[in-house]
Structure 1
Amino acid sequence: MALLIYSPSHPVADWAAAIRALAPDLDVRLWPEVGDLAEIEVALVWKPPAGLLQSFPNLKLMQSFGAGVDGILADPNIPRHVPLARVVDGNLTVGMTEYVLLHVLHFHRQVAAMQQNQRNGKWQWLPPVDPGQRIIGIMGMGTLGSHAAQKLLGLGFQVASWSRGLKAIDGVTSFHGDEHLEGFLRLCNVLVCLLPLTPQTRGIICRRTLSLLPRGAYVINAARGGHVVDDDLLHALDSDWLSGATLDVFNEEPLRDGHPFWTHPKVTVTPHNAADSIPAHVAPQIVDNIRRLQTGQPILRLVDYTRGY
């Protein structure tokens, strides 16, 4: 069985080494050294170019490097008769929670104001805010959102959530569905986006939804760049409706030279590194799915094409 590995972002040689260590019998090939296209039965991919996956006539499994699959589903020619699986990585979950806590606390503890005071040589006491008076709103209550919510509750914050379907978590004020989005947004002092990117969630952080947040709210997007309408976010920042934003993902990556986010005084830019999977941690999942394919067992962590995740 031949496995193709393609990614413009991951150290593919490291992933190949981790997989070969667990399955030395696998024929692992790194793009563009594909060989006979008909021999590729499994493709481990991230943001493949349009038409790549369709070019393998005997493809039996598509496997994502991570939890997100929007970069794969963006291909209009994806062979939808072939199962697509994603990764669920506990270490990635911890990394995302670290990222969320870091930037929630950066806002909550007024770090930007203290840094500005330092640059100005100004000694100024800033009154603290009771975390119990802050409502952190999380959009997307899958594995990542649920873990972050529990840790935020442990720090004394109030936590609200919004998801497409009902998700009930102890201590979290839960909202779901389009009809309850406005009520959720009006509560959020900090809005954290951890949604999957689907046609329904693309552009969800826009002028209308940002206007529903309380004045002075802060936005953190660690999901996908397509969730944000850039010009609308910039308008909300420039009009002083928002206190600031932390962005790890962008509509175009890498973020282009000269984009206003680079130099905006209220924006923190990070290079899509909120949470990354380590090959040695994730390779066992990938190899397990390949073995399942070989032995006719059910593939794990399958993506529902109709839902997009």
Structure 2
Amino acid sequence: MRVRFSAPDGAWRDWAPALRAALPEADLARDGDPAGFDAIIYAPGGDITDFTPYRRARIVQSLWAGVERIVGNPTLTQPLARMVDPGLAQGMAEYCTGWVMRAHLGMDAYAQDGVWRNGTVPPLAPERRVTILGMGALGRSVAAMLGAVGFDLCGISASGRAVSGLRVHPVGDLDRLLGQAGILVCLLPDTDATRGLLDARRLALMPRGAWLINPGRGTLIDDDALLEGLAQGRPGHAVLDVFHREPLAPDHPFWAHPAVTVTPHVAAETRPATAAPVVAENLRRAMDGRPILHLVDRARGY
């Protein structure tokens, strides 16, 4: 099996040892005759922009969970698989649980200024509604960890497909459910249907003081609408890990806003040690003619 690795230069150093250990039968290469490759491992920033010459390739395996930067490439006719990595899912669940707990317990309410503020006690987790917008693999991982804490969970997905132990609603119920979302966790992909989904009208439906946590995609939220909503207390605080343009510009108003916490796209990282076995399994499946895992639906964009 001859495999082309197309990713930014620094990625090769990190990925090559893990891929060789997980897929010892493969001949990994960073360049060569396109017609000679059986598979492509891809990350945005790599040198392949035209997939037409890779006629023999049976799979393009993305190293990223999000595929918006490749799925619309008209030269890509090979099957495309997105990354669903247990390490990435664990990292996302830990990030979301940490920030949900901070919001739930009101950790920012206790200024270290000598004032004894014991008049407000947070509710217990079952009394707090946490709404998860996006119930793919990452959403389910987040729900499992938050469910173990005991939160009152509600899921929203494009399909409304059932998830064991969780109430899941179709996205058509979003407006109604936003009014009940004490904490909203956003994990939707970047598609035509999700861009700008949280606009001024929808943000105004959130309860006053609610928290919005977005480690999914920056395009989900209208930035100007969010700033206006924060001024009205709907939401009361936003934790943002993803943005329309990254890195976030140093003069962007999010940095200095007292009701915004910026984190630099660190919620979930694809880790070679846990992701390389996923790549290996999928490439073997493609070579054997078996169903490919996490195959991207081109029409839906994920």
- Is TM > 0.5 for Structure 1 vs Structure 2? yes
1:213 aligns with 2:211: no
1:108 aligns with 2:107: no
1:305 aligns with 2:302: no
Amino acid at match of 2:58: K
Amino acid at match of 1:60: R
Task: Give CA-to-partner distance per residue, 1:17-67, whole Å, 9 cap, x none.
Answer: 21122334433233xxx2333334422222247971435332432111133
Separation in structure 1 between the aligned mates of residue 238 and residue 119 of structure 2, nearest angstrom: 20
Aligned residues of 1:289 and 1:299 also touching (Cα < 8 A): yes
Structure 2: segments with no counterpart, 5+ residues: none
Aligned residues of 2:7 and 2:46 also touching (Cα < 8 A): no
Instruction: Report deviation, 1:183.
Output: 1.2
1:11 aligns with 2:5: no
Separation in structure 1 between the aligned mates of residue 159 and residue 190 of structure 2, nearest angstrom: 15
Q: Which residue of 2 aligns with 1:158?
A: 152
Q: Which residue of 2 aligns with 1:137?
A: 131
Correspondences of 1:15-54 after superposition (within 5 Å): 15-30=15-30, 34-48=31-45, 52-54=49-51
Instruction: Report deviation, 1:247.
Output: 0.9
Task: Give CA-to-partner distance per residue, 1:257-306, whole Å, 9 cap, x none.
Answer: 21112222111111211122221211122122222333333322211112
1:69 aligns with 2:62: no
The structure 1 segments of at least 4 consecutive aligned residues displaced by more than 4 Å after TM superposition are 48-51
Secondary structure of the corresponding residue to residue 167 of structure 1: coil
Secondary structure of the corresponding residue to residue 35 of structure 1: coil
Correspondences of 1:1-309 after superposition (within 5 Å): 1-8=1-8, 11-30=11-30, 34-48=31-45, 52-54=49-51, 56-58=53-55, 59-73=57-71, 75-79=72-76, 81-114=77-110, 117-118=111-112, 120-130=113-123, 131-169=125-163, 172-178=166-172, 180-309=173-302
Separation in structure 1 between the aligned mates of residue 9 and residue 269 of structure 2, nearest angstrom: 11
Separation in structure 1 between the aligned mates of residue 68 and residue 235 of structure 2, nearest angstrom: 28
Amino acid at match of 1:296: G
Aligned sequence identity (%) = 39
Separation in structure 2 between the aligned mates of residue 23 and residue 153 of structure 1, nearest angstrom: 36
Separation in structure 2 between the aligned mates of residue 181 and residue 98 of structure 1, nearest angstrom: 25
Amino acid at match of 2:3: L
Provide closer, same or farther for how the CA distance between residues 213 and 52 of structure 1 changes in structure 2, counting only shifts above 3 A. same
Instruction: Report deviation, 1:221.
Output: 0.5
Separation in structure 1 between the aligned mates of residue 178 and residue 241 of structure 2, nearest angstrom: 21
Q: How many residues align?
A: 300
Amino acid at match of 1:199: D
Aligned residues of 2:160 and 2:168 also touching (Cα < 8 A): yes
Secondary structure of the corresponding residue to residue 16 of structure 2: helix
Provide closer, same or farther for how the CA distance between residues 292 and 143 of structure 1 changes in structure 2, counting only shifts above 3 A. closer
Aligned residues of 2:87 and 2:275 also touching (Cα < 8 A): no
Secondary structure of the corresponding residue to residue 94 of structure 2: helix
Secondary structure of the corresponding residue to residue 144 of structure 2: helix
Structure 1: segments with no counterpart, 5+ residues: none
Which structure has more relative contact order (CA 8 Å, sep 6+)? It is 2
Aligned residues of 1:254 and 1:271 also touching (Cα < 8 A): yes
Aligned residues of 1:159 and 1:171 also touching (Cα < 8 A): no
Amino acid at match of 1:215: R
Aligned residues of 1:48 and 1:72 also touching (Cα < 8 A): no
Aligned residues of 1:89 and 1:277 also touching (Cα < 8 A): yes
Aligned residues of 1:136 and 1:189 also touching (Cα < 8 A): yes
Amino acid at match of 2:222: V
Separation in structure 1 between the aligned mates of residue 63 and residue 119 of structure 2, nearest angstrom: 44
Provide closer, same or farther for how the CA distance between residues 25 and 305 of structure 1 changes in structure 2, counting only shifts above 3 A. same
Separation in structure 2 between the aligned mates of residue 252 and residue 209 of structure 1, nearest angstrom: 22
